[in-house]
């Protein structure tokens, strides 16, 4: 078990300082509810048994020499499955993405790629007792950890499933935590009017394995999609690099090549709409996939 070198009251102060740093200072969000959620969720519950490993900036991991709980409260990536490149990701990045998701009290949210559940717990704080979080995780070991760590949260359900097939009911928001080359059909069609989807669009580096294990996005961007009366508004949030999808969301080499060309060409920051099962206007789209496109026209 991790070692507590601080009292519970002292650790609460550390957690509040961490929340202020990652939410207000680094992520730059002005939403006080996001900072409050990070301040109360114990990150160490979701990291597994020490010795913990953190990601190096140049690739790979290094072990932390201490199991002190306070070390969990840094804006770094902790390895969950280092051989697969699966991490408990950057808190400041997630704080920024959660601000874009615009979570409201009472929302029903699908968290796709929940891992061990840390950000599911943050979401559960944001939706409150009247909302619900459906934490979808394909890996049974990660999902098992999530179930244990989230057992005290009645507003969270952990589901072992391929995120390609969820959600199966209408949602207020969907939060995706791995890089995809295309959105899954349920993510678009299950959004209620006014519903929001935040996902990392990304493609892996071709012809070279990741230094962290698994396949990480070489080109990557976070997008916000919102369902409106006239279609789907889309907006670039910023660069974001996640481990790439497995299972039913794995993309083929032709899709990788086409999306890589679009990223290299640039201009994703001008995207304003997502077209879904609609013929796109050639010359007005940043990327055209199979029955979907990201375009520069308003929806």
Residue 1, pLDDT score: 59
**Model pLDDT, residue 206:** 67
The DSSP bridge partners found for residue 4 are: none
Cα–Cα distance between 102 and 277 in angstroms, integer? 26
Other C-beta atoms closer than 10 Å to the C-beta of 292 total: 19
Cα–Cα nearest to 221, from 207, 234, 210, 230? 234
pLDDT number for residue 216? 78
DSSP 143-174: HHHHHHHTTT-TTEEEEES-GGG---S-EEEE
Question: CB–CB of 144/209 below 8 Å?
Answer: no
Mean pLDDT for each 10-residue chunk of the chain (299 residues)?
79 96 94 98 95 90 92 96 94 98 98 98 98 98 98 98 96 97 97 98 72 72 97 97 90 93 97 95 91 96
- pLDDT of 126 reads 98
Q: What is the pTM of this model?
A: 0.95
CA 294 to chain centre: 20
Phi, psi of 271 (to 5 degrees): -65, 135
The predicted structure's pLDDT at residue 194? 98
Q: Which helix (H) or strand (E) holds 81?
A: strand 78-81
Distance CA 177, CA 229 (A): 27
Look up the CATH superfamily of 8-295. Answer: Vaccinia Virus protein VP39 (3.40.50.150)
Query: What DSSP letter does each residue of 8-62 carry, written as one string?
Result: HHHHHHHHHHHHIIIIIIIS----HHHHHHHHHS-GGGGS-SSSPEEE-TTSSEE
CB 55 within 8 A of CB 79: yes
Cβ–Cβ under 8 Å, residues 198 and 100 = yes
């Amino acid at each position: 078990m991790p070692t507590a070198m601080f009292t519970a009251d002292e650790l609460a102060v550390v957690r509040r300082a961490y929340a202020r740093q990652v939410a207000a200072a680094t992520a730059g969000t002005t939403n006080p509810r996001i900072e409050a959620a990070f301040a109360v969720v114990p990150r160490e519950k979701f990291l597994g048994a020490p010795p913990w490993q953190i990601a190096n900036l140049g690739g790979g991991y290094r072990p932390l020499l201490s199991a002190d709980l306070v070390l969990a409260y840094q804006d770094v990536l902790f390895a969950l499955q280092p051989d697969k490149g699966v991490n408990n990701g950057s808190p400041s990045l997630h704080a920024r993405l959660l601000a874009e998701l615009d979570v409201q009290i009472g929302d029903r949210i699908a968290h796709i790629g929940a891992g061990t559940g840390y950000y599911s717990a943050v979401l559960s704080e944001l939706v409150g007792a009247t909302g619900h979080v459906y934490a979808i995780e394909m890996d049974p070991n990660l999902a098992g950890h999530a179930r244990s760590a989230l057992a005290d949260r009645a507003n969270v359900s952990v589901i072992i499933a391929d995120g390609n097939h969820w959600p199966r009911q209408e949602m207020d928001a969907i939060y995706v935590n791995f890089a995809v080359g295309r959105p899954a059909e349920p993510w678009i069609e299950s959004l209620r009017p006014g519903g929001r989807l935040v996902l990392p669009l990304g493609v892996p580096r071709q012809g070279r394995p990741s230094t962290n294990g698994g396949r990480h996005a070489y080109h990557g961007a976070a997008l916000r999609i919102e369902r409106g009366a006239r279609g789907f508004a889309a907006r670039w949030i910023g660069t974001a690099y996640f481990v790439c999808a497995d299972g039913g969301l794995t993309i083929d080499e032709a899709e990788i090549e086409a999306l890589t060309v679009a990223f290299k060409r640039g201009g994703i920051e001008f995207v304003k709409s997502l077209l879904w099962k609609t013929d796109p206007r050639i010359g007005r789209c940043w990327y055209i996939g199979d029955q979907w496109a990201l375009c520069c026209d308003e929806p």
